[in-house]
Structure formats: structure tokens, C-alpha cells
Structure 1
Amino acid sequence: MPCALCDGDQLSFPVPDAAGEHLPDDRPGAALCTHCLAVEPVDDPPSAYPAFSESIPGFPDGEAGAVVACVFALVDSLALYRAEVSALADAAERRGVDVLLLIDRLAATDGVEPYFDVSRRGTQLEQLLYE
């Protein structure tokens, strides 16, 4: 199923237990657009995490990638989901991912055009995470 925002390809994944409690939707899976990084819930996810890095260079694979994708699901609503984004970013960092660095790298990657304003959200995320 193509992305609703940009018609790009999507990677479906199961929502990790560490992330599910922080998302506003309780569906068991989500899909990450490989072009704009938008995330939408899905009802029937695969049982395993996809190889995110095969479709999005530099994106973490496995559960770490799924947690980061969950951050991206909420990053455009930081005011509403401040605590949730912070908790998800912490979960990503515990899995070895620097979310701010990753956002900067993805914004510079050919073929990736984030749906959110990278400079604005990056600054807001930095303020949120390093208060």
C-alpha cells in the first residue's frame, strides 16, 4: 500500500512493546514511508522487523528502527505528544540510536524528503531531549 502523503513505498513493521504504550493508536503495527518518513498504523503487520536500511540508507534495522519510526509518527505533533516523543527517543537511544543525528543524516540522504520540517523539528527535539 503506498504512502497516503507522497505515494511512496512503505515498510510495515510490528510496533515494539517498548513503543506501543506511547502511541495514540493501539494497532499492532505501523508502516514507514521510505520517501517522506511518514508513519501510519496498520492492522496486520508482519511478524518480523524489515531491513529498514535496505530501503532507507542509514536507517537502523530491527527493533531500534521500529522505535525510531514510532518517534517519526509523533514528531510533527510535539506539543501534543511531548512526553511520548521523549520516552520514545530515550528508548531509541537505549538501542544505540542518536535520533537527532539520524534526522540530520536522513535529511541529507538522496531520495528521502521528510514530511516534517527537519530544521524546526530538530531544534524542538533537541530542546525537548536536552532540557
Structure 2
Amino acid sequence: MSCPRCDAPTVAFAIPDDLRDQLPDDRPGAALCTRCLSVTPLDDPPTASPDFARVSDAFPVNDEAAVALACLLALLDSLVLYRAEIDAVAAYAETRGTDVLRTLERLAADDGVEPFLDLDRRARQLEQLI
């Protein structure tokens, strides 16, 4: 599948039930764009572990943490609307060993991605929320 926003390749992944409740779309999977980092819901996610290294080496190596970070990216375009959900997803990622703010900073500094939103600004705003 290619990204509907920029036509770049995506990384598809299944969303754990405990994270699905935090997302605006209740589909069981999503696809993360390897270029713009937008997230698109999927009806039929793969069962294999996603290779988030295709996106950036800033992604956690722990699959659960990486999926949580991808889910967080799906929420960051609307901090006000999804404040509680962002907090829950960030806490989920952090309990799996990921420093969410540091990971966002590393993603923002990665020349291989062109995020559709300003990750530096979002990281600063997120720091005030969580």
C-alpha cells in the first residue's frame, strides 16, 4: 500500500486492542507512511511484525513500543481533541521502554523523513501535556 497523502511506501501493522480504544478509528490495523509519517487505518492488517526500521532508525526496536509510537503519530495532528488519548498512548509506549519525547525529537531530526506536521513543535506541546 502507498500513502494516500504523498504516495510513498507504508509499513502496515496490527493495533493491539488496548490501543485501539484510544484511536479515532476502530479498525484493527494501520499503515504508517515511510516519508510523511501519516497514519492510515486498515481493515486487514498483517500478522507479521512490522519493520519500522524502514521508516527511521529513531523508531524503538521493541514492537509494542514502535506500534504505540506509530499510533501516537496518528493523534498528534489534533492535540486538543485527543489530549486524553495521547496521554494514554504515550504512557503505553513509555511503559514499554520508550522515551516518547526523545523519539519524536529523533524523528524530527531524521533527514530521511518529511513529516506532514511539525514534530519539533508537537514534541514541545506534548511535553506540556504529559
TM range (shorter): over 0.9
Aligned to 1:58: 58
Matched, 1:69 2:105: no
Instruction: Give the Cα–Cα distance (whole angstroms) in 2 for the partners of residues 24 and 111 of structure 1.
Output: 28
Aligned to 1:21: 21
TM-superposition CA deviations, 1:107-126 (whole Å, max 9, x none): 11121111111222111100
The correspondence of residues 96-107 of structure 1 with structure 2, limited to 5 A, is 96-107=97-108
Count residues in correspondence. 129
Instruction: Give the Cα–Cα distance (whole angstroms) in 2 for the partners of residues 7 and 126 of structure 1.
Output: 31
Q: Which runs of 4+ in 1 moved over 6 A?
A: none
For structure 2, the 5+ residue unaligned runs are none
Instruction: Give the Cα–Cα distance (whole angstroms) in 1 for the partners of residues 95 and 85 of structure 2.
Output: 15
Aligned to 2:40: 40
TM-score by length of 2: 0.93
Letter in structure 2 aligned against 1:69 = A
Letter in structure 1 aligned against 2:71 = C
TM-score by length of 1: 0.93
Q: Tell me by how many angstroms 1:54 deviates.
A: 3.9
Which has the larger displacement, 31-40 or 47-56?
47-56
Which has the larger displacement, 12-21 or 75-84?
12-21
Q: Tell me by how many angstroms 1:20 deviates.
A: 0.7
RMSD over equivalenced CA pairs, Å: 1.2
Determine if contact 2:59/2:103 at 8 Å carries over to the other structure. Answer: yes
